[in-house]
Structure 1
Amino acid sequence: MCEDNHGTSGLGRRALVVTGAAAALTLGGVSFASAAGRDQETRTVRGTLPPGSPDFVYVPVEVPAGVRELRVAYAYDRPTVPAGTPGNALDIGVFDEHGTELGGRGFRGWSGGARTEFFIRADEATPGYVPGPVRKGTWHIALGPYTVAPQGLSYEITITLTYGEPGEAVHPTYPPERAKGRGRAWYRGDCHLHSWHSDGRRTPAEIAALARAAGLDFINSSEHNTHSAHAHWADVAGDDLLVMLGEEVTTRNGHVVALGTDPGTFVDWRYRARDNRFGRFARQIRRAGGLVVPAHPHATCVGCNWKFGFGEADAVEVWNGPYTPDDEVALADWDSMLVASVREGREGRDGRSWIPAMGNSDAHRDPDPVGSPQTVVLADDLTREAIQAGIRAGRSYIAESSRVSLSFTASGGRGEHAGIGERLRVAPDAPVTVWLEVTGAPRCVVRFATDQGVLFTSGPLGVDGSGVAEWRTTASYAAYVRAELRHEAAAGPVPGALAAFTNPIFLGRGVD
């Protein structure tokens, strides 16, 4: 075993490079001898990162020919820090001989802070990592100092190469892009889920079983910063469950769900809003057939709050997991965006002037419930393309579980009719009737929200959770209307937690 030390002084001596992404530092390299006469060889690297370290620190590893397996283990210190000050958190991943350039051509895996070791070989790899040959060349261990304590972050990396024949490479299979649907119908899905391929604790099979138990028709694979799970869903998909493939692109300035991309699509995350690079990767997601969905935009964890703006968004995740105050803020912010789209009369990308809402569970482990909340989409069939079209058009509502169902429509006096995500084209002063039918929401309150605010509130539904609410208005009084189902509030004027809410129905002739 050989040892190298990367001390804090090394940060001053080595070049700090900005590669068109977040600032990155490349340390001195680690070399291995040739494979001749050896079964295995190990190197250990130690160093300390100071507060204010770059977003990514790369440790080059010179890999000789004849390597069967690369194995990496790491550890770092966690000193006591003052109250209110983040402690140490160090993420890890690896890039192969194709390099670390932004775009990820050399990407071979990422586990963030979820694992202390990983391996890669031709026929298998640790979840989060992509199997394949360990070829000769300069590999890079990627360290991500997520937060650094005032005392600095001391780390130790142990790299082990096992020599020998590489073994037979695996050929990935992917789930089909369609399941057995019901034609044009409402389909339920959860598009933000984590398995053991990132920081979740469930296998794909366990997630699929929970999705079926939750009454879901579709799900989306969305691991943090890796596409390694894509090849592990084929066996658990079926006629009754559509599995779409994607990624949760986890940057230092917010997270975005790449929803329903082509199999094997990797989306890089190594940039901040100030780098002006997000548009490039949003376009990559769409070229790969996916949707761009900013996740939990007002989450309070470090780096989780969305700072890239919504100009590239196809939808936004307004409700994430159990309903909390940051979801209430996200709902209010989204409603303000609806008001702005009406006020400015602007037409956005694809001719659309507004951004639809979604809700997903972001479930990681027990007891996180899969499918709470869930997005219920009106789609022409249970296919990737049809589900995405329904989400993009806003033909959807969000419910806390499959027990909650609703029908929400608006009609005019001359037989005009519109549903969720549509426009009721009527004259400004023509009478409009808004109608909501609910099942599965016991003791919930119905609210109709508009660009003016909440203009209609019903008394609580009965214990059977069923009921109908009706309201009359005009397009001059309400530019749009959307429905909310709220649980009874514990006390005071603050509304209760959501049980469901819809995307809007727009009223009036609008912009053609």
Structure 2
Amino acid sequence: MKVSGLQRLLAVWLALVVGAACAQEPQLTLHGEVRRAQFMSYQEVPFDVPEGVSRLTVEFTYTGHDHGTNLDMGVIDPQRFRGWSGGNKHTFTVSESDATPSYLPGPVVAGRWRLLVGVPAIREGSVAQYTVKVWWQKVGTDAASGSTFSQKPIREGAAWYRGDLHMHTGHSDGSCASESGARIPCPVFLTAQAAVARGLDFIAITDHNTTSHYDAMRELQPYFDKLLLIPGREITTFYGHANVFGTTQFIDFRLGTKPVPTMKVLLDEVDAAHGLLALNHPGVPSGEQCMGCGWTAPNTDFARIHVMEAVNGADADGEKSGVPVWQQQLDRGLRITAIGGSDNHNALIKPGQNNAIGSPTTVVYSTSLSESAILAGIRAGHVFIDTDGTKGRSLILSAVSGNEHALMGDVMHVAADVTVTFTVEANDVAGMHGEVITDGKHSMLEGSIFAPGKQVRTFTFASDGKPHTVRVEIRDAAGKLKLLANPVYLNR
């Protein structure tokens, strides 16, 4: 089988990127046994939790199932009862924002916790050996655990994964019609259900400032086991909006007040939580037209902004588009990943309508369908935006110069008088044309108009040894933006 240059490039990139972290070793492992003498009793297994823990996970396993032994499980923290799952679960997680069904979210209090072991069934002469494994995550380490709501990747293997990174539910201002037609806060499950119907692989639910939706997301993730649910929230300030992904910790949104006097303080808090921040709809006006919608935060250090929502809902073109704002930052020499988000506020909006879930779709090359891998792909800029949110339209930009290969988002170091060859691979773009944007200047991609099926075009760039950004857009016959690829950066 012939291997394309792009396939070689992706294989090289995959080999260089660390995949989803292996399962972390537990901080505590406890062993014990239960005999017939404990029949119809509740045993307590104590364990100590240190200060500064944000999330606690417990796994309880035991022997004797094939000899009629059944053991139940619950837990009490130093202050209160935190849940009981009986024999229907062998693992649970609790944190301030979310918990496994059967358990209560809330602060992970330091001190002596007690695992409750109920003994409803054990035969005379039987001995059951049990093992309790305890993991905890300290404050600021949520994003390092692979995925917040699933213990393993939703899907293994490197691929281009399609998702929506901006949506709201009834936990903020998302609303929809009830069964009787009344307008009600829209339940989270409808958002996940609509995302599956649109063929998405991942979504980030980003309700305004709150973290209350995370508990619903944890409950839904096992059911929606083909859809990755990423924790997000829209930091909504008087000076602009920004999504934060990959952490469940509270981020203070009160920009301009004593607790959060500057954008630097807010960014420091996000970084400490290992979150990923994306400026939202930066091309939208502020003031009475849309209070706090455009980005006006004073003294924003854009060198610390790694992601920007270039396409919000139907605003791929026109005066509300974020693409020109993003391009301005590229022209300043910054590397910022462009993403898209539907900004959906009603999960029942039909496909094709403004702000329908998945319109636009952000497509990420990732080592697996896990939270950490998807966010790593976004940070790396291995992203293109499908503004219509189709199920198969694609645009992949790559480059090669000598032995150096790059995928969109990557940096190539190219000396003067060296030629870089770019390859554009597109699909489902019949009748459309490509545009090459070099340092903000547009030119037609040679060989347009595209025919049906997979299309491949190449073009070259003669390096002068200086920094440049080269990216590609695909537009329809009316000039509307349909696909946007992040840049390949030269000498950045």
The TM-score with structure 1 as length reference comes to 0.59
User: Which has the higher mean CA deviation after the structures are superposed, 326-335 or 458-467?
Assistant: 458-467
Distance 1:474 1:361 in 2: 38
User: How far 1:453 moved relative to its partner?
Assistant: 0.5
CA contact (8 A) 2:234 2:243 kept: yes
Residue aligning to 1:59? none
Matched, 1:187 2:161: yes
Q: 2:397 aligns with which of 395, 399, 408?
A: 408
Residue aligning to 1:255? 241
Residue aligning to 1:331? 323
User: How far 1:198 moved relative to its partner?
Assistant: 0.7
Matches within 5 A, 1:26-45: none
User: How far 1:177 moved relative to its partner?
Assistant: 5.9
| Partner AA of 1:446 in structure 2 | G
CA contact (8 A) 2:163 2:362 kept: yes
User: How far 1:480 moved relative to its partner?
Assistant: 2.2
Distance 2:160 2:436 in 1: 22
User: How far 1:179 moved relative to its partner?
Assistant: 3.0
User: How far 1:500 moved relative to its partner?
Assistant: 1.0
**Number of aligned positions between the proteins:** 327
Residue aligning to 1:138? none
Distance 2:171 2:272 in 1: 24
Classify the secondary structure of the residue corresponding to 1:198: coil
Residue aligning to 2:172? 198
Shift in alpha-carbon separation, 1:457–1:223, aligned structure 2, 3 A: same
Matches within 5 A, 1:26-425: 170-171=104-105, 175-176=149-150, 178-201=152-175, 202-237=186-221, 238-262=224-248, 265-272=249-256, 276-300=261-285, 301-308=290-297, 309=300, 310-325=302-317, 329-341=321-333, 353-365=334-346, 366-367=348-349, 368-400=355-387, 401=389, 402-412=391-401, 414-425=402-413
Residue aligning to 1:475? 463
Please give the per-residue CA displacement for 1:455-478, whole angstroms capped at 9, x wherever unaligned: 333565456364222212212298
Classify the secondary structure of the residue corresponding to 1:338: helix
Greater relative CO, 1 or 2 (CA 8 Å, sep 6+): 2
Shift in alpha-carbon separation, 1:472–1:460, aligned structure 2, 3 A: closer
Distance 2:336 2:324 in 1: 14
CA RMSD of aligned residues (A): 3.0
Distance 1:505 1:204 in 2: 37
User: How far 1:218 moved relative to its partner?
Assistant: 1.2
| Partner AA of 1:432 in structure 2 | V
| Partner AA of 1:334 in structure 2 | W
User: How far 1:244 moved relative to its partner?
Assistant: 1.1
Classify the secondary structure of the residue corresponding to 1:261: coil
Please give the per-residue CA displacement for 1:86-107, whole angstroms capped at 9, x wherever unaligned: xxxxxxxxxxxxxxxxxxxxxx
Distance 1:177 1:370 in 2: 26
CA contact (8 A) 2:284 2:320 kept: no
| Partner AA of 1:485 in structure 2 | I
Distance 2:273 2:215 in 1: 17
Shift in alpha-carbon separation, 1:189–1:131, aligned structure 2, 3 A: closer
User: How far 1:311 moved relative to its partner?
Assistant: 4.0
User: How far 1:335 moved relative to its partner?
Assistant: 1.4
Classify the secondary structure of the residue corresponding to 2:368: coil
CA contact (8 A) 2:311 2:321 kept: no
User: How far 1:328 moved relative to its partner?
Assistant: 6.3
User: How far 1:250 moved relative to its partner?
Assistant: 0.8
Residue aligning to 1:440? 428
Tell me the percent identity.
Answer: 32
Please give the per-residue CA displacement for 1:366-421, whole angstroms capped at 9, x wherever unaligned: 42311111211112222211111111111111112232112211122x24321111
Structure 2 residue runs without a partner (length 5+): 1-80, 83-95, 108-147, 176-185, 350-354
Distance 2:173 2:279 in 1: 19
Classify the secondary structure of the residue corresponding to 1:380: strand
Residue aligning to 1:44? none
| Partner AA of 1:214 in structure 2 | R
CA contact (8 A) 2:384 2:396 kept: no
Residue aligning to 2:49? none
User: How far 1:330 moved relative to its partner?
Assistant: 2.1
| Partner AA of 2:229 in structure 1 | V
| Partner AA of 1:312 in structure 2 | R
Please give the per-residue CA displacement for 1:28-56, whole angstroms capped at 9, x wherever unaligned: xxxxxxxxxxxxxxxxxxxxxxxxxxxxx
CA contact (8 A) 2:311 2:339 kept: yes
Distance 2:393 2:449 in 1: 13
User: How far 1:450 moved relative to its partner?
Assistant: 0.7
Shift in alpha-carbon separation, 1:236–1:359, aligned structure 2, 3 A: same
Residue aligning to 2:131? none
User: How far 1:313 moved relative to its partner?
Assistant: 1.7
| Partner AA of 2:283 in structure 1 | H
User: How far 1:169 moved relative to its partner?
Assistant: 8.8
User: Which has the higher mean CA deviation after the structures are superposed, 311-320 or 465-474?
Assistant: 465-474
| Partner AA of 1:247 in structure 2 | R
User: How far 1:273 moved relative to its partner?
Assistant: 9.2
Distance 1:282 1:199 in 2: 25
Classify the secondary structure of the residue corresponding to 1:205: helix
Q: 1:487 aligns with which of 473, 476, 482?
A: 476
User: How far 1:326 moved relative to its partner?
Assistant: 5.3
| Partner AA of 1:251 in structure 2 | T
Residue aligning to 1:428? 416
Distance 1:171 1:452 in 2: 48
Q: 1:498 aligns with which of 478, 481, 486?
A: 481
Shift in alpha-carbon separation, 1:324–1:473, aligned structure 2, 3 A: closer
Classify the secondary structure of the residue corresponding to 2:155: coil
The TM-score with structure 2 as length reference comes to 0.61
CA contact (8 A) 1:420 1:504 kept: yes
CA contact (8 A) 2:327 2:440 kept: no
Distance 1:380 1:184 in 2: 4
